[in-house]
Chain A
Amino acid sequence: DAGVIQSPRHEVTEMGQEVTLRCKPISGHNSLFWYRQTMMRGLELLIYFNNNVPIDDSGMPEDRFSAKMPNASFSTLKIQPSEPRDSAVYFCASSLTRGSSYEQYFGPGTRLTVT
């Protein structure tokens, strides 16, 4: 299995631009999670989906952030407009939450820099 795939691995953009991060979960997994990691705040859960439906988006910082999961094999996290404080590493993770212990498998992350 290829594991969780994220793209791009690095993104540098200017303030005000739209940024789209992409994630392909492990085949067969039914839950997908978006996290943000910074030195100041550590690892934060932004949103998670179960069977393609958003279950908890309480971690999404503000309306500039949106996430979609149009099918079981693809999800996007969009920031519009981006701001310098959005600079962070964004991780996608997936898990199987039927009859399992809910361990999550993480992608390599997207390092976002907003100038």
Chain B
Amino acid sequence: AQSVTQLGSHVSVSEGALVLLRCNYSSSVPPYLFWYVQYPNQGLQLLLKYTSAATLVKGINDFEAEFKKSETSLHLTKPSAHMSDAAEYFCAVSGNTGKLIFGQGTTLQVKP
């Protein structure tokens, strides 16, 4: 069975500061891992995906994530936060069934 834990339901950073959103997973098979972003009143948009091809994954809008098998994690980072990054971020894991198991989400607040 797969599961996802996102540490911190709310994260607040200043504009220009580093963004770090944490995601830990549990999976009995080699996982596919995803980060999605949801802007207010919109659907979820794929930010990046990890498929075991490389441990460092680059996504859209300068986000990236590093897969650490020993820590069962795929934390999301961005070097410099923009006001437009304020949104809810979801981590998800997929095994081999096609279903995605989502975390509870982390709301990112960016302060001017």
**Which residues on A are within 8 Å of B, measured CB to CB?**
4, 31, 33, 42-43, 45, 48, 50, 55-56, 91, 93, 95, 97, 101-109
Contacts and interface: CB of A to CB of B under 8 A. Distances in A.
Given A43-B90, A48-B99, A106 B104 contact: no
Contacts of B51: 101
Grouping DSSP codes into helix (H, G, I), strand (E, B) and loop, the B interface class, with mixed when no group exceeds half, is strand
A97 B98 contact: yes
Given A45-B99, A106-B44, 18 more contacts: A33-B99, A42-B105, A43-B102, A50-B98, A95-B98, A97-B98, A101-B32, A101-B49, A102-B32, A102-B98, A103-B32, A103-B46, A103-B49, A104-B46, A106-B43, A107-B43, A108-B42, A109-B42
B98 A109 contact: no
Interface in B22-49: 32, 34, 36, 42-46, 49
A83 to B, nearest CB: 24
A62 B94 CA distance: 26
A108 B102 contact: no
B49 A105 contact: no
A36 to B, nearest CB: 12
Range of interface residues on B (Cβ < 8 Å): 10 to 19
A93 B42 CA distance: 13
A106 B104 CA distance: 17
21 contacts: A4-B43, A42-B102, A42-B105, A43-B102, A45-B99, A50-B98, A91-B43, A97-B98, A101-B51, A101-B94, A102-B32, A102-B98, A103-B32, A103-B34, A103-B46, A105-B46, A106-B36, A106-B43, A106-B45, A108-B42, A108-B43
A2 to B, nearest CB: 13
